Structure 1
Amino acid sequence: MTTFAASLKKEIARAARKELRDELSALRKGSSTYRSEIAELKRKIKALESKVKALSRTAPSVASKTASKPDATLARTKPGRKVTFGPAEFSALRQRLGFTQAQMAQLVGASALSIYKWESGQVTPRAAQLEKIMSVRKIGKREAVARLQAE
């Protein structure tokens, strides 16, 4: 009986390998197909990213031609970039208004130390303060004094 059991066991293993071979070949074919599709998609993504980069280089120059010129006395702008803060221009604005650093801080809603650091170029103001500074840039000396007295 042991020879019968051993031969039965061998036959079952052979049949199982045969079945697995067919299924594995289908899986291998699918896997290779998926790999080639993924590689093709990666190539397409790379090509699209390079097109986007090329278009982003040309788009700001087109936008700057159609848009009006930005006020560059306080903040310098370059095509395709955010507004950058100019410490010298901010200091000139404060002097034009005739304010001390403490008065300018009160007007902008910051501390006198922040004003000092902004003017010395050690720190740049955050976006919220930059908006306030730009709004102060648009007003005259009388209105600035009125705002200071109102606070």
Structure 2
Amino acid sequence: MANISQIFKSEISRVARKEVRQEIEGLRKASTQHRGAIAALRREIAELQRQLARLNKTTGKAPSQGEQEDDTGQQVARRFSPTRLASHRAKLGLSAALYGQLVGVSGQTIFHWEQGKARPRAAQLEALAAVRGIGKREAEERLAKAA
């Protein structure tokens, strides 16, 4: 006959496992509900941000990063595209370091902008906009003057 203490211990551990399993199931259900609620809140935040952007677009707002006022006092939005920067640099036939000299930043910064790892600040967007309108000859002239 088995030792009564061993039987008693095994029965206690079986009952304990059963109770723990029941508790965990309740926690799993609660966790699933919480994840669903978090996802719903994230969707709601995204929708509210879209609505805010639409309202700001229709009502007008103070210039923020990437927006400057032109000579007439109207806001000019400066957009940035890494692929456009890379294609303009290629069109001019310049290395990232030389293009960076035109803009007033390092070649590594140009490389990071083209890769999408970083974005230019408002003042740098203005410098990019000024360089965007020049051709290959004018770029070479500016680089010759700077050297």
**What is the TM-score of this pair, normalised by structure 1?**
0.48
Q: Which has the higher contact order (CA 8 A, sep 6+)?
A: 2
Q: As a proportion of its length, which structure holds more helix? A: 1
TM-score of the two chains, using structure 2 as the length reference: 0.49
Structure number with larger C-alpha Rg: 1
